[in-house]
Amino acid sequence: MSSVPPTDLPQPPAPAAPAASHPGPAAPPVAAHTRPSGTAGIGLANLLLGAVAAAALTSSVLLWQKLSSIQEQLARQSADSGTLAIEARTIARQAEDQVRETAARLSVAEARVSEVALQRSQLEELMQSLSRSRDENLVVDIESAIRLAQQQAQLTGGLEPLVATLKTANQRIDRAAQPRLAPLQRAIARDLDRLTRATVTDTAGLLGRLDDLVRQVDELPVLNAVAQAPATRKAATPASSTGTAEDPAMPWWQAALQRSWEVVRDEARGLVRVSRIDQPEAILLAPEQTFFLRENLKLKLLNARLGVLARQFDSARADLTAATAALNKYFDPASRRTQNAATMLQQAQQHMKAAELPRLDETLSALATAAAGR
């Protein structure tokens, strides 16, 4: 704010008449003879008026200087206020820019947070789906293994495939460490305990006995086979095995004559035999029919073997009974081989049981529940 030039300042007022500028009480009328005293009063009044004018002028100058300083101070304050206003507007504009930038950054951060939350939810869903798929794959693998073990147990007639499969499934569930598979593990433990306490037919051992019997059929002596003469057996065996000691001082021709005499004597004794015939049809069996007799016995044993494999124990037991009857009827009961074969047939019939394999209903039900996700 510029200062006012001195020309614009109000000028000090001009001296006026004493009566006009300083009104006062009316002077008493003076007589004509008192004139000099009035002149002195006028001079005093003028002097006073000059002093007042000088004081007024001085006060006007002082007032003008003070007004000038006030105007300068106001001008400085106005300039400072303008500068501060400009700075405030600049700061406000910067603040607005920062607010807009902060709002933009906040919106970007919110968008990123929402994206991260969405990715996290998707990742959690993916992990849950992976966990569910792993559990489902484990359940499917266990169910397939158990059903395959059941088929093997049906074919072999033993419980070893089922027991091994259940133990393996229990170990896999322990490694998985999934709480939702705990009911399945408890069901497997109960079925495993029931399998260990069950008793079934030893199919492998029974089949091995039947195979041995089939191989021994060709060596079994029939009932109508004529035994070799004792003398012939003595001639065929060396002297040390017969138990007869010859005199070393005996000539060779005398020893030969003695052996020949023993053979003739034994043959003469074998011309007549007296025996009891309990099975006439076995004695009257032709030699060429012996082959068909043995093959028929083999077929009965093989049929019994097929019955055991098919878990048809009644049919297998009937075939073994027929084989035992044929063995006792057509073969020599005094022979050691016949007695051994009869003993093996009796043991096979005793070990043949019609007990069914234990069912794994609890494990299969738990597998179905776990697969359904309940």
pLDDT at 4: 39
- Answer whether 349's CB lies under 8 Å from 343's CB: no
Question: Mind listing the pLDDT tens digit for each residue in 153-171?
Answer: 777 767 788 888 888 888 8
Instruction: Count the neighbouring beta carbons within 10 Å of the beta carbon of residue 138.
Output: 19
Instruction: Count the neighbouring beta carbons within 10 Å of the beta carbon of residue 135.
Output: 18
pLDDT at 201: 63
Separation of alpha carbons 115 and 230, rounded Å: 107
Q: How many helices (H) and strands (E) does the chain have?
A: 13, 0
Separation of alpha carbons 140 and 147, rounded Å: 11
End-to-end alpha-carbon separation of the chain, Å? 90
Separation of alpha carbons 332 and 315, rounded Å: 27
The backbone torsions φ and ψ at residue 331, rounded to the nearest 5 degrees and listed phi first, read: -115, 155
pLDDT at 99: 92
Residue 244's SS3 state is coil
- Give, in order, the Cα–Cα distances in Å from 216 to each of 212, 249, 309, 342, 351: 6, 47, 21, 11, 20
Give the global pTM.
0.43
DSSP for 114-175 reads HHHHHHHHHHHHHHHHHHHHHHHHHHHHHHHHHHHHHHHHHHH--SHHHHHHHHHHHHHHHH
Tokens of 124: 């959690």
Residue of 165, 209, 161, 237 whose CA lies nearest to 340: 209
Residues of the chain with pLDDT under 70: 1-38, 128-133, 135, 157, 199-202, 225-249, 269-285, 353-357, 373-374
Contacts of 9 (CB under 8 A, 6+ apart): 60, 64
Separation of alpha carbons 125 and 278, rounded Å: 87
Question: Mind listing the pLDDT tens digit for each residue in 55-100?
Answer: 888 988 888 888 888 988 888 888 888 888 898 889 999 999 999 9
Angle at 203 (CA atoms; ends 200, 206), nearest 5 degrees: 120
| Alpha carbon 264 to its chain's center | 89
pLDDT at 355: 52
- Answer whether 138's CB lies under 8 Å from 176's CB: yes
